[in-house]
Chains A and B, each alone.
Chain A
């Protein structure tokens, strides 16, 4: 079974631009989550989508948004980029599940975004 696929792997943008990152989850997984990893803050949760609906959202400004398509693929968008948005953006997928504690997330390799 193919793992979580993120594209592109690397991206360079300038301040003020916007960017869209893509994530294809593991086949059969319906939940997709996004995380931002920076050296100072570690991995921070951005948002989670399930069946095209955002179920959970972290503490990030509205410039960060996402969506999920009917095939469970997901995109995240960052508008009006700032230097501080330079980070590794990780996507993770999970099979549907609740209450059982089986909330294991499987991660892609990430997209490295550099904002100049």
Chain B
């Protein structure tokens, strides 16, 4: 079953405006959340992450917000630029232990188009 959901397959935003990409998760054990950006014919590129002990993390034009009670996170891009046009994946991970190993749970992605 899909534990991480991105309910908007696509989003179109004008250059200079804010882009808001949303993500919901169902597993309350997840404690680390990441956003990746993917261009065609390339692998996903890490963008920004947030730990469950925080509710906000900023990195330049990118801010991720986490609402644990709602099991919801969002990525804000301000201002949006044409080069931001890509597919954005939300991912979540349970606590990492020495024996558990890495296993990211991904949403199906949101295709963002930023128009000039």
Known: A97-B96, A108-B43, A109-B43. A103 touches B32 (CB 8 A): yes
A104 part of interface (Cβ distance < 8 Å): yes
Contact B109 A42 (CB under 8 A): yes
Asked if B106 and A42 sit within 8 Å, CB to CB, the answer is yes
Known: A42-B106, A101-B51. A107 touches B44 (CB 8 A): yes
Report the bound CA distance from A105 to B103 in whole Å. 9
Which residue on B lies nearest to A58, using beta carbons? B103
Stretch at the interface among A13-21, A43-51, A70-78, A79-87: A43-51
Contact present for A45 and B103 (CB under 8 Å) = yes
* Residues of A contacting B36 in the complex (Cβ-Cβ under 8 angstroms): 107
Chain B residues with CB under 8 A of A61: none
Asked if B108 is an interface residue, CB under 8 A from chain A, the answer is: yes
Contact: A90 with B43, CB < 8 Å?
yes
Cβ of B101 within 8 Å of any chain A Cβ, yes or no, is yes
**Could you tell me if A98 and B44 are in contact, using CB atoms closer than 8 angstroms?**
no
Interface residue total, chain A, C-beta cutoff 8 A: 32
CB of A62 closer than 8 Å to a CB of B: no
CB contact under 8 A between A109 and B42, given known A42-B109, A55-B99, A99-B97: yes
Instruction: List, in ascending order, chain B residues with CB within 8 A of A109's CB.
Output: 41-43
Asked if A33 CB lies within 8 Å of chain B CBs, one says yes
B residues near A94, Cβ cutoff 8 Å: 102
Partner of A55, one of B42, B101, B104: B101
In the complex, are the beta carbons of A104 and B46 less than 8 A apart? Answer: yes
Pick 26 A–B contacts, CB within 8 A, sort by A.
Answer: A31-B101, A33-B101, A33-B102, A33-B103, A33-B104, A35-B106, A42-B89, A42-B108, A42-B109, A43-B91, A48-B101, A55-B102, A56-B102, A97-B96, A101-B32, A101-B51, A101-B52, A103-B32, A103-B102, A103-B104, A104-B34, A105-B46, A106-B46, A107-B43, A107-B44, A108-B43
- Where the two chains meet, the residues of B that have a C-beta atom closer than 8 Å to any C-beta of A are 31-32, 34, 36, 41-46, 49, 51-52, 89, 91, 93, 95-109
